[in-house]
Amino acid sequence: MPHLQFDINVKLNNKTRKTFLDFVRTEFSKIMRTGEGHIAISLREFARSSLSLGRSSPEDYVCFMNLDIREGRSLKQKRDLVKKYMEGVKQILGIDLNNQYITYTSHNGRDFNLYEKTLKEWSDNDNPVK
């Protein structure tokens, strides 16, 4: 059960939020070869002066992404996801590539829980909610 977290310092309208959340969910499912029903996404909007990235200017919009995912994904999958998300943040949210930063962490399946069960370890083309 990934938890994909996006912290931004730009205010969005509901249509843009929906477009972005749909993009994040769809691309994760496609690149990581898993179902969509267990994907958790947090999109947090902060005041412009609340986030800072060393190489950006104080007036720049920035996006910090923290991607908590199950172990088992290849480095290529992770890099493909990083690039896809950064391109989407630029295209959908208008935040320059140089003003984005991503970290990801990998966890055992047992670290991810739904009410009805603990998730198993990742396997290709899994669908953990079924």
Provide the pLDDT for residue 70.
Answer: 81
CA max distance for the chain? 46
Asked whether residue 67 is assigned to any structural domain, the reply reads yes
Nearest to 53 by CA among 23, 98, 12: 98
What mean pLDDT is predicted for residues 73-94?
96
CATH code: domain of residue 23: 3.30.429.10
Asked whether residue 33 is assigned to any structural domain, the reply reads yes
Segment (H or E) for 84: helix 75-88
Asked whether residue 128 is assigned to any structural domain, the reply reads no
Number of residues assigned to the chain: 130
State which residues form the domain around 10: 3-111
Provide the pLDDT for residue 85.
Answer: 98
Q: What are phi and psi of 93, to 5 degrees?
A: -100, -15
The partner residues of 45 in beta bridges, in order of sequence, read: 8
Asked whether residue 99 is assigned to any structural domain, the reply reads yes
Asked whether residue 118 is assigned to any structural domain, the reply reads no
Provide the pLDDT for residue 129.
Answer: 56
Q: Count how many domains the chain has.
A: 1
Q: Which residue has the tokens 């958790």?
A: 40
Per DSSP bridges, beta strands 40-45 and 3-8 are parallel
Q: What three-state secondary structure class fits 56?
A: coil
Asked whether residue 116 is assigned to any structural domain, the reply reads no
Of 29 and 37, which is predicted with more confidence? 29
Provide the pLDDT for residue 101.
Answer: 97
Asked whether residue 81 is assigned to any structural domain, the reply reads yes
Asked whether residue 88 is assigned to any structural domain, the reply reads yes
